[in-house]
Amino acid sequence: MMSTWLLRPSQWTLWLLFVSCSCAFYIPGYSVKRYNDGESIPLLVNKIFSDHTQLQYAYFDLPFVCPPSGKTHGGSPFGSGQSISLNLGEILRGDRIMTSDFELSMGKNVECQALCTQEVGRKDVKWGRQLIKQGYVAEWIADNLPGATRFVTVDRSRTYYASGFKLGYQEFSPADGKSRFFINNHFTIVIRWRPVPEGGKVVVGFEVYPKSIKASDHEANGCPKQVHEAHDGLELYIAPNTSRLRQKYPGSSYIPEDDDEIDDGATLQIPYTYSIYFREENNVDWSNRWSLYFSNQDEGSTAHWLAILNSLTISGALGVAVYVIWSRTVQGDIKGRGDGAMDEGQIKLRAKSKSRDRKTSKGDDKKGEGVLDQGSDVERDADLSEEEETGEDVSGWKLLHGDVFRVPEYSGLLAPLVGSGMQLLFMVSGLLLLSCLGVLNPSFRGGFVSVGMGLFVFAGLFSGYFSGRLYRTFGGANWRKNTLITALFFPGLTFCLIFILNLFVWAQASSTAIPFGTLIGLLALWLLIQVPLVYVGSWVGYVRAAPWEHPTKTNSIPRQIPLQPWYLRSVHGTLLTGLLPFAVLFIELLFLFKNLWQDKSGYYYVFGFLSSVCTILIVTVSEVTIIATYNQLCAENYHWWWQSFLTGSSSAFWVFAYCIWYYLFKLHITGFVSSLLFFSYSLLACAVYGLLTGTVGFLTAYAFIRRIYR
């Protein structure tokens, strides 16, 4: 298998070009929802989020918005404030979707409708000002579409959506330069629809345009005068109680104006209203209605192609190096050795015969020196005797014939790590494939995480199988212990990290915190489903399957390893090998990080490009590992087991270093908890990436060495 991959690079090149040119499509829902005139369209509220922090909050947890009244609307059996059932992915991403009191009926325009008048105190005003300062954005949902703001490019050639709308805005007073915060309390909702041949209308767009209108501009019915005209904004501000402040700070020359510990009962009235308009839109098909959310990302297609070209260039150069190693060096060495699979008996006979010739030719003065070493030394030097017989020089990897498959130290840890790496490889491959096929798409909210969790649990079979079989190959006897380590080590560390982080988020009352019930469900999913699957896979791999056979036998006495070059005896050499895989991934990381950490309202959809880059990344990791392993063997160092794993995973170090750089120079995250979440989740993601690529590197080196010593 390894030789086929090495000898046919053109097939890999054609496959990569095909994947690069493929465009992922998406399935925007399982069925089309058609509405008749006057039929109610439920409007759901979700959460607020910001690019400046990792903390999210449920919309109805905000004290300055209209709380749900509990009334039913549009014939729905559920009143407002009813929680919508969420999948696992939605819960983990912080969604808290609930029904609202907004009344939308297909085709029915509403000039103005009063929602409520909310009364807030000083503490609530202070928190609202802080949320506006941090740029929080609210997310509503109608017909599975997130509410968005519509934008037009400068040349008016394209229209695109920016998901969500801001809670308010900040201005600076021209008189004293102080910040003033205004809250948006009127919402203009635009529903874009088009007729369908089957009858009825379908929603192809959902837009929300917020506006701040001061309370004095509202009439008795709760609606503002001339709602669409210019108005002064409603400032989130309650005048300080100077008398109470002077009592608290007697004799002080400085009196703070925003001391929220003084509860004097002062409140601010915030009237909320909304307007609804339906607009026919025949230029957008229902199947393409999500395209508007992606249009602002199309400008990066050139950079994506640049990433593909950069990756192919690096991988191609490494492929040439691997081809040279294989075709000119390794193949030539194999031919020079004759039968590479010669059994030990033949080697011993040749060694003894050659030794007797040495004794006869050296004379009486060399008798004592011509005595053969004991059996283990004969076995270790048999290949040397064979090459001396043919008159060839012996050096490099050929000398490791009897030591290259020696069981490594801490093999009881290496086998579980490789098993967990295979589990992650199966999960990532499945996610990328389903994303390219369109099964996982933005309309399937939370689907990427939910399906990924399912694939990870199911892949416990692969984890147990590879771990158990490799453990048996190493000669391990306690396979049940190996099974427990495989099933508990990596998932256990991940669960503990998430639980500890969750304590910090719980303290902030954020919807980012995973509910306790969900944590119990994840624990049950892990212990009651994944662990048994790992056990079954390990039983098959250890008990039913035969261990992997090695083409050579191992000497009883280890060979002494000569002094190694600096790049093989220090960690710097291993880290340097990770630069090439990181260079393959670097450009695509720019888009991925922007989507994950900056543009949280955006949707990453270019899975065709991502799959191509990941495929090239796997090939590059394999090529780098082959080159590094061959150099190590040529230096007569047979400790390649762990080294190949570390070589494959070394690019994770550079990815984490890039995370640190991105945090310092690109992000504007504030607060200890948000920073803690960023670095913790970045470290976890890099650990997953390193475990996956390390497994790829190890298996590639294993297959390469088995082939050249065959």
What is the full DSSP assignment across 423-479?
HHHHHHHHHHHHHHTTSS-TTSTTHHHHHHHHHHHHTHHHHHHHHHHHHHHTT-S-H
Q: Which residues on neighbouring strands pair with residue 465, listed in sequence order? A: none
Mean pLDDT (the chain) is 84
**pLDDT digits 0-9 by tens, 503-540:** 999 999 999 999 999 999 999 999 999 999 999 999 99
Report d(CA 491, CA 423) in Å as an integer.
Answer: 11
What pLDDT band is residue 334 in, cutting at 50, 70 and 90?
low
Contact 46, 97 (CB under 8 A): yes
Place of tokens 């004592």: 368
Residue 609 confidence (pLDDT): 80
Residue with the larger pLDDT of the pair 178 and 603: 178
In this prediction, residues 381-385 reach a mean pLDDT of 44
Higher pLDDT, 156 or 701: 701
Burial (CB < 10 A; 0-12, 13-18, 19+), residue 101, is: buried
pLDDT in tens, 309-329: 989 999 999 999 999 888 876
pLDDT in tens, 484-506: 999 999 999 999 999 999 999 99
Rounded to the nearest 5°, which phi and psi values hold at 204? -120, 0
What is the SS3 assignment for 356-402? Answer: HHHHHHHCHHHCCCCCCCCHHHHHHCHHHHHHHHHCCCCCHHHHHCC
- Asked whether the beta carbons of 644 and 704 are under 8 A apart, the reply is no
Nearest to 187 by CA among 209, 212, 218, 216: 209
Give the model's pLDDT for residue 277: 97
Q: Which of the pair, 697 or 324, is modelled with greater confidence?
A: 697
- pLDDT number for residue 202: 96
- The answer on pLDDT for 257 being more than 60 is no
Q: DSSP alpha helices (H): ranges in 249-374?
A: 291-294, 301-324, 331-337, 344-362
For 461, other C-beta atoms within 10 Å of its C-beta total: 22
Over the stretch 97-108, which tens digit does the pLDDT of each residue have?
A: 999 999 999 999
- Rounded to whole angstroms, the Cα distance separating 186 from 171 reads 18
pLDDT of residue 77: 77
Give the DSSP H/E element, type plus range, for residue 206: strand 201-211
Q: Could you tell me the pLDDT band of residue 677, with boundaries at 50, 70 and 90?
A: very high
CA distance 306 to 329: 34
Comparison of pLDDT for 383 and 110, the residue scoring more: 110
pLDDT of residue 341: 42
Look at residue 422 in the predicted model and tell me its pLDDT.
Answer: 97
**DSSP structure string for 100-165:** -S---BTT--EEEEEEEEEEE-HHHHHHHHHHHHTT-EEEEEETTEE-EEEEE-TTSS-EEEEESE
The mean per-residue pLDDT over the stretch 585-592 comes to 86
CB of 539 closer than 8 Å to CB of 531: no
pLDDT at residue 600, rounded to an integer: 62
pLDDT of residue 377: 42
Output the CA torsion sign for 432, 433, 436, 441: negative
User: What residues contact 643, with CB distance under 8 A and at least 6 apart?
Assistant: 574, 628, 629, 632
How far apart CA 46 and CA 148 sit, in angstroms, is: 13
Does position 575 have pLDDT exceeding 50, yes or no?
yes
pLDDT at 244 over 70: no
pLDDT band at 398 (very low <50, low <70, confident <90, very high): confident
How confident is residue 176, by pLDDT bands cut at 50, 70 and 90? confident
Count the helices and strands in the chain (H runs, E runs).
24, 14
More confident site: 594 or 658: 658
Reduced to 3 states (helix: H, G, I; strand: E, B; else coil), residue 305 is helix
Q: What number is the average pLDDT over the span 264-282?
A: 92
Is the separation of the CB atoms in 626 and 701 below 8 Å? yes
Quickly state the pLDDT bin for 663 (edges 50, 70, 90): very high
Distance from first CA to last CA of the chain, Å, rounded? 13
| Tokens linked to 355 | 């030794």
- Global pTM reads 0.85
Cβ atoms of residues 47 and 59 within 8 Å: yes
What pLDDT does residue 651 have? Answer: 96
CA-wise closest residue to 471 among 482, 459, 484: 482
Q: Could you give the dihedral angle defined by the CA atoms of residues 467, 470, 474 and 479, in that order, rounded to the nearest 10 degrees?
A: 40
